[in-house]
Structure 1
Amino acid sequence: MGKTNRTHTPAFKAQVALAAIKGDRTISEVAAHYEIHVNLVAHWKKQLLEGAAAVFDSRGKNTPPPDDPKVAELYEQIGRLQVELAFVKKNLPASVEWKRLQVEPAHPQLSVRQQCELLELNRSSIYYEPAQADPEDVRLMTQIDRLHTESPFYGSRKLAVELSTPESPVNRKRVQRLMRLMGLEALYCRPRTTVTSRCHKVYPYLLRNLAVERPNQVWSADITYVPMPSGFMYLAATIDWFSRFVVSWKLSNTLDGSFCQEMLEEALARGTPSVFNTDQGVQFTATAWTSRLEDAGVSVSMDGKGRCLDNIFVEWLWRSVKYEYAYPCRPETVRELERGLREYFGFYNERRIHQSLAYRTPADVHQQESRRPQER
């Protein structure tokens, strides 16, 4: 007999989505905690993020003046309703997770069926075993990430050969599936670098034959995959081309555009570049991203067709992050990863010297060169 499908309440979905948005655990860890499939967690998080703005928009339309007597009466009614709702929420039945913990399979007097009836709990939820991330997939994804960092021009065919052993062959289709999940793509010249939605405007590549001579002239952003013991995280960063200075960075447990938008706002709060270059991924072709840059007076640039090295400075940054921090330190939790990245980027900007910068640090070059026009 097949398993009975579980019915999740809106409150439970909101709780799971908020836990995912908090970002202190991977999607696999959130799914294991709430005993649901990882796809549900990612889907509910996306739904909550997309629907959050509508809550404020609907309340902000056609608002009457505050001195209107009818408005005062309405506020009074809302206040009473909020008190009633608080009382109801306080006396709501316990969550499904709490009820499951109260069931004792070896109870001397009550069977599992009787305990579930007393708790008003569906008996199938006691025996439900949520699908977990395949440990073999996690191991292969870690190896794929390392190989991609070493040789970003390797495609699924070569990666499958590298990963295969006589005892454990790896199918190319499996490698393709894991690469799609990780958001990885081989770097090589081809007619179409990225397939984007037709509704998104594709901007031209503005950096061809452009001499980058000062800080904040050209910024670039990209996203990479960071392996974890239980799942994975995504890291986005913005880098200044001239000084290699990391302007801002953000972590996320899902590959959505919200954390990229947060990174962009943080970067623009620290300065405004003349040109901002990205690839043609959906996070960077979204209207929210491009319109924000245009409103700030920034020229939007996107990697051109057949231009596999247009974003090479960010690729070098990912190699440094992984080989100098992620792989040697192997953080166990998201909090540890975030704390370690904060320390590493501080080291990268303030203390790590670069041969291409005449053995100076990115922060030193960024600050000194930024002051030169004022000194002149």
Structure 2
Amino acid sequence: MTQLISEEQGISIKTLCSLFGKSRNAWYESRIRIEKDVLIRDIVLQEVYTIRTELPGVGTRKLHFMLKDILSQHGISAGRDYLFDLLAATGLLVTRRRRRVITTDSNHWMRRYDNLMAFEQITRPEQVWVSDITYLRLNNSFVYLSLITDAYSRQIMGYHLQNDLSAEGCLRALRMAIAKRKTPKLTLMHHSDRGSQYCSKAYVDELNGETIAISMTKNGDPYENAIAERVNGILKTEFDLERSTGTFEQLKIN
């Protein structure tokens, strides 16, 4: 947020830090902590969604017990109070009157965009690209596959596999898709959830630089990005990526 203020008003980071009695190093460290916290929330919420898909009524205490081992494989230690606060903040606490599943954390400081897909009738290739990240199990750890899929042809235009959930994987998949684009003079829309990777400055700048319209799901609900979710399901079930074995390099080659 500080960066946005400085860019809009022409105030340097150094000046802002001096006004608040903070060093530039402290500002950068604070930003890194914020981005790390956003990534952790993304992982926790995705795993909550996975469990809730099969057990929609499972409560927070049991969720905490079920998540403990799988989160430790991600290198995450989340206490019960943290999980309660996170589910409360995202509307995922189970109540008798309301049950809603949100898989992507949009409670970050970066800009979110409207859902343009609701008004779009897809009639040709390279009209709409949908983006998503899926988790794959590799022996006793996880790797993360970023995908760009053409909504009309269902062709995977770009992909990248990496060990973490940073925006770099999504950015590399996007650049691969752009390099394969055959009709650059026609309008193109990019649709994704509101995850921090897709809202990051580097990712948005890449889209704007290519004059690609930006569309995002309204609440981070996977059902608003159904094409991407369907492609993920095909890769995991038909190509058996759900039970990947071997090394990270072998999985990248396969």
In the alignment, structure 1 residue 213 sits paired with structure 2 residue 123? yes
Measured in 2, the distance between the counterparts of 1:155 and 1:286 equals 33
1:194 counterpart residue number: 105
> What is the identity percentage for the equivalent residue pairs of Structure 1 and Structure 2?
22
In the alignment, structure 1 residue 299 sits paired with structure 2 residue 209? no
TM-score normalised by length of structure 1: 0.43
Measured in 1, the distance between the counterparts of 2:165 and 2:244 equals 21
In the alignment, structure 1 residue 285 sits paired with structure 2 residue 199? yes
State how many pairs are aligned.
186
TM-score normalised by length of structure 2: 0.61
Distance 1:226 1:265, change over 3 A: same
For residue 224 of structure 1, the aligned residue among 134, 138, 146 is: 134
2:168 counterpart residue number: 258
Listed as ranges, the gaps of 5+ residues in structure 2 are 1-31, 34-45, 77-86, 93-98
SS in 2 for 1:216: coil
Displacement after TM superposition at 1:306 (Å): 7.4
Q: Structure 1: which 4+ aligned runs deviate by more than 6 Å?
A: 185-188
Displacement after TM superposition at 1:205 (Å): 0.5
* Alpha-carbon displacement from aligned partner over 1:41-72 (angstroms, at most 9, x marks no partner): xxxxx99xxxxxxxxxxxxxxxxxxxxxxxxx
The answer to whether the Cα contact below 8 Å between 1:190 and 1:306 also exists between their aligned partners in 2 is: no
SS in 2 for 1:153: helix
The answer to whether the Cα contact below 8 Å between 2:145 and 2:162 also exists between their aligned partners in 1 is: yes
1:310 counterpart residue number: 224
Displacement after TM superposition at 1:182 (Å): 9.5
The answer to whether the Cα contact below 8 Å between 2:102 and 2:221 also exists between their aligned partners in 1 is: no
Distance 1:193 1:335, change over 3 A: closer
2:64 counterpart residue number: 173
1:51 counterpart residue number: none
Displacement after TM superposition at 1:213 (Å): 0.4
Larger Rg: 1
2:149 counterpart residue number: 239
Measured in 2, the distance between the counterparts of 1:154 and 1:194 equals 21
Displacement after TM superposition at 1:338 (Å): 1.5
In the alignment, structure 1 residue 268 sits paired with structure 2 residue 178? yes
The answer to whether the Cα contact below 8 Å between 1:182 and 1:225 also exists between their aligned partners in 2 is: no
Displacement after TM superposition at 1:313 (Å): 0.9
Q: Which has the higher contact order (CA 8 A, sep 6+)?
A: 2
SS in 2 for 1:294: helix
Displacement after TM superposition at 1:194 (Å): 2.8
Measured in 2, the distance between the counterparts of 1:313 and 1:243 equals 11
Displacement after TM superposition at 1:330 (Å): 3.4
1:17 counterpart residue number: none
Measured in 1, the distance between the counterparts of 2:67 and 2:121 equals 37
* Alpha-carbon displacement from aligned partner over 1:73-127 (angstroms, at most 9, x marks no partner): xxxxxxxxxxxxxxxxxxxxxxxxxxxxxxxxxxxxxxxxxxxxxxxxxxxxxxx
1:330 counterpart residue number: 244
Displacement after TM superposition at 1:324 (Å): 1.9
Measured in 2, the distance between the counterparts of 1:191 and 1:333 equals 32
Measured in 1, the distance between the counterparts of 2:246 and 2:62 equals 29
